[in-house]
Amino acid sequence: MSFLLTDKRILLGVSGGIAAYKAADWTRRLRKEGAVVTVMMTRAAQNFVTPLTFAALSGNRVHTAMFAPEDAEAMPHINLGRNCDMILLAPATANTIARLAQGLADDLTSAVILAAQAKVLVCPAMNSAMYQHPATQANLARLKEFGYTVIDPACGELACGDQGPGRLADWEIVRQEIIAVLTPQDLRGQKVLVTAGPTWEPLDPVRLLTNRSSGKMGYALAAAARRRGAQVVLVSGPGSITPPAGVEVLPVVSAQEMHAAVSQRGPEMDVMIMAAAVSDYRPARYEARKIKKGTPDAALALAANPDILRELGERKKTARCFPLLVGFAAESNDHLEEGRRKLAAKNLDLIAINDISAEDAGFAVDNNRVTLLDRNGAVEELPLLTKEEVAHRILNTILRLI
C-alpha cells in the first residue's frame, strides 16, 4: 500500500468508451494503494462495463442516475463532488468533454463536475479523428481554462483499427498526476539541494573506482521535493536515470567535482540532502594512458577525497544561518550506533540510516528501509517502502525540523 494515496477519496467518472474496461483496472489499482474510490457512470459507459463490476472493484455503491429514488435526499449531484479529494474522469469521451465545456448538467457526471470544488483530472480516450477534430480540441482547451488537468491520450493502435492519438493514457502517467494533484505544496518557497548516485574516480582512461549506487534514492528525493513545490537542484553522479521534470540537474563525475558543485550552490539553499554514495578515496595518481599489465602483484595508492558533508557540518558550526543538513549512512552493522556517531561527527540535523546488508533495500533496488534519527534524538524506524515513499517520509521529517 502506498501512503501517498492512503485514504484519499477519489471520485471516478466513467463515460462511454471502450477504454472503460481500463478504468475498471484503475479502480483496482487505486484501491490497492489505499485510496477510497467511488464510481459514477454515464448511461453510455454502462454499455461497456456494468456498474456491478465497478461496485465489486471499488467496494462502494456505483452512482448512475441523478434522480435515483434510493438517493433522493442525498443529492448526489452536489454531494459526490463535495465529499471527494479529486475527480478522475476516465475515459473522457468527446461527448462528455463537450458537455463539460458547455457547462451542461443534464446527467449525473456532468452535474457533479459542474458543482464540484475538487480538482478534476480528465483522461480523454476516443478515435483519433474525433480527438483531433477542432471541436474536441477547442473543448479541451476550454476545460484547461476552467483549471482542469487534461492528460493527453497516448498514440498507437485504437480499438477501431485506426492509428494515432486517442488511446487512454498509460496508468503510470495518470498515477503520477493523481499524486501530483493530491500532494500538498508544503515545500513551496524552499530551495533544496540533493546529491545522488555514485562518484567515479578514474585510475586511467578505462578504469575507475566506484560503487553500486544507482541514484534512485537521490532522484526520488529530488522528484518528491519538486512535487511538493520546492525549487530543486540535483547534483548527480554518473547514472542512467531520467531526471525529474522541473529540477535543475548539475551532472558531476568525481567526488571532487561533486564537492565543487555543492560548495558553489550550497549557500543559497534552505535544505541540503546528501544521498550520494561519495567515494572516500580516489587513485593517488591518474595515468593518462591505459596501465599495462605488469607484475602479478600490483598495489594501488589511494588519496582521500574531501568529506563533503563533514565540511558542511563544520561550516555550520560558525555560520549565523545555514541550510538544514541531512545525511545518509550506509551501514552493514551497528546501524543505530554508527548513525548516531555520523549525525554528531558531521553536525547534521537529520540522518537516514540504511541497512545495506539487506538484499531487498539500499543500493540499486526500488525499495529502501531506513531509520531516521534527528538532532533532538528522535528515532523513527520506517518499514520497507518504495524509494518514492521513503523520500516523502524524509521530507515530512524535514518539514517538522525546519
Question: Could you list the residues that contact ligand PMT (CB under 6 A)?
Answer: 195, 197, 213-217, 255, 274-278, 280, 305, 307-309, 327-330, 342, 354, 362-364
Rounded to the nearest whole angstrom, what is the least distance from the CB of residue 4 to ligand PMT in the complex?
18
Q: How far is the CB of 359 from ligand PMT (least distance, A)?
A: 13
**Euclidean distance between CA atoms 59 and 113, whole angstroms:** 22
Active-site residue, 321 included: no
Burial of 27 from C-beta contacts in 10 A (0-12 / 13-18 / 19+):
buried
In whole angstroms, the minimum distance from the beta carbon of 107 to ligand PMT comes to: 48
Contacts of 222 (CB under 8 A, 6+ apart): 192, 194, 196, 232, 234, 243, 244, 247
Residue 262 CB, shortest distance to ligand PMT, in Å, is 8
Cβ-contact 300, 283 below 8 angstroms = yes
**Nearer Cβ to ligand PMT (13/197):** 197
Q: Which of 238, 246, 188 lies closest to 222, judged by CA?
A: 246
Measured from the CB atom, the residue of 123 and 194 that comes closer to ligand PMT is 194
Give the nearest distance from C-beta 33 to ligand PMT in angstroms: 22
- Sheet containing 9-14: give its strands across: 62-63, 36-41, 9-14, 86-92, 119-124, 149-150
Is 169 or 255 the residue whose CB approaches ligand PMT more closely? 255
Which among 79, 112, 104 is positioned nearest to 13, based on CA atoms? 112
State in angstroms the smallest separation of the CB of 91 from ligand PMT: 36
Q: Quick one: 23 or 394, whose CB is closer to ligand PMT?
A: 394
Instruction: State which residue, 215 or 266, has the beta carbon closest to ligand PMT.
Output: 215
- C-alpha angle 241/242/243, rounded to 5°? 105
Rank residues 81 and 197 by Cβ distance to ligand PMT and give the closer one: 197
Q: Which residue's CB is nearer to ligand PMT, number 178 or number 326?
A: 326
| Catalytic pick among 84, 123, 155, 160 | 160
Q: Are 368 and 385 in contact (CB under 8 A)?
A: yes
Residue 116 vs 278, nearer CB to ligand PMT: 278
Q: How far is the CB of 217 from ligand PMT (least distance, A)?
A: 4
**Under a CB-based contact definition with an 8 Å cutoff, are residues 276 and 257 in contact?**
no
Shortest reach from residue 215's CB to ligand PMT, in Å: 5
Which residues does the annotation mark as catalytic? 160
